[in-house]
């Protein structure tokens, strides 16, 4: 699409932001999220960019959890692109990080899991950005280890592995103990940086192994994926379905 056509598209999407129909709002957010993945430069160069970011942020407070989840996913993509294309730390990064962190208290476990996935991706893409905002990120993500949802706790472990860079150096394990227990820090540091899949092509199914904790004890868990349609955590499945 040409620039003028894209601008018309963005204006149309923004009109849906005030629609009384939640499916219309959701559809607009899904479109924006897809653009952020496939044609990010078209969005950042649009005169409507600031309004679109505001639309995404407002979606975090929507009464419908699919809208909150999609907004979180889109903001995560936006932040990841920004930190990968500009390593200079600025207030815009902190603003987006704070917005994503805010939904770690969301009522929906799917939204919380999506936020953890977004933070994890940023920690992998540009650890210095997370380090500069560790006073905000560290306590919020660490608290998710106590979440009542096991998938959220699993996602929090994967997120903390990268947030604190636990597998990179012993001093990182010590530093993380400002936010989590020494037992948790050492256990999480032993997780593989990349998740792994055991493929079984004969039946189209895959077995995924990961560790999790229960009552302070480390366990192993196998999850079965049918044609890659399920995973233990809310990674951006289109972008990061087979990585840590």
Domain annotation covers residue 79:
yes
Decide if pLDDT at 240 tops 50: no
- Per-residue pLDDT tens for 116-137? 999 999 999 999 999 999 999 9
**Is residue 70 predicted with pLDDT exceeding 60?**
yes
Does 10 reside within a domain? no
Angle formed by the axes of helices 109-125 and 65-85, to 10°?
0
CB of 219 within 8 A of CB of 211?
yes
Q: Which long-range contacts (C-beta less than 8 Å, at least 24 apart) are formed by 65-69? A: 65/106, 65/107, 65/108, 65/110, 65/111, 66/26, 67/22, 67/25, 67/26, 67/29, 68/103, 68/106, 68/108, 68/111, 69/108, 69/110, 69/111, 69/114
Domain at 188, CATH number: 1.25.10
Q: Say if residue 223's pLDDT is above 90.
A: no
* Least confident span in 68-82, 165-179, 222-236: 222-236
pLDDT digits (tens, 9 = 90+) for 156-183: 999 999 999 999 999 999 999 999 999 9
Q: Is residue 22 part of a domain?
A: no
Tell whether 208 is covered by a domain.
yes
In whole angstroms, give the CA distance from residue 210 to residue 223: 8
Q: What are the structure tokens assigned to 70, written together?
A: 């999609």
Q: In whole angstroms, what is the distance from residue 67 CA to residue 61 CA?
A: 9
Q: What pLDDT does residue 215 have?
A: 44
Q: Which residues span the domain enclosing 150?
A: 60-240
pTM: 0.78
Q: Does 66 fall in a domain?
A: yes
């Amino acid at each position: 699409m040409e620039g003028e056509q894209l601008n018309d598209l963005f204006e149309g999407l923004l009109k849906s932001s005030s629609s009384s129909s939640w499916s219309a709002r959701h559809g607009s957010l899904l479109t924006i999220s897809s653009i952020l993945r496939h044609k990010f430069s078209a969005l950042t160069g649009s005169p409507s960019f600031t309004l679109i970011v505001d639309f995404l942020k407002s979606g975090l407070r929507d009464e419908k959890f699919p809208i909150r989840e999609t907004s979180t996913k889109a903001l995560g993509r936006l932040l990841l692109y920004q930190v990968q294309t500009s390593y200079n730390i600025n207030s815009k990064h902190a603003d987006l990080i704070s917005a994503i962190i805010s939904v770690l208290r969301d009522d929906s476990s799917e939204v919380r899991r999506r936020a953890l996935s977004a933070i994890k991706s940023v920690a992998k893409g540009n650890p210095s950005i997370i380090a500069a905002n560790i006073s905000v990120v560290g306590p919020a993500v660490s608290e998710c280890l106590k979440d009542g949802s096991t998938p959220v706790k699993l996602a929090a472990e994967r997120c903390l592995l990268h947030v604190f860079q636990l597998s990179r150096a012993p001093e990182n394990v010590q530093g993380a103990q400002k936010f989590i227990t020494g037992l948790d820090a050492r256990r999480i540091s032993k997780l593989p940086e990349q998740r792994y899949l055991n493929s079984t092509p004969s039946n189209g199914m895959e077995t995924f192994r990961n560790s999790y904790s229960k009552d302070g004890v480390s366990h192993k868990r196998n999850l079965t994926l049918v044609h890659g349609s399920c995973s233990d955590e809310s990674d951006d499945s289109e972008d990061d379905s087979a990585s840590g």
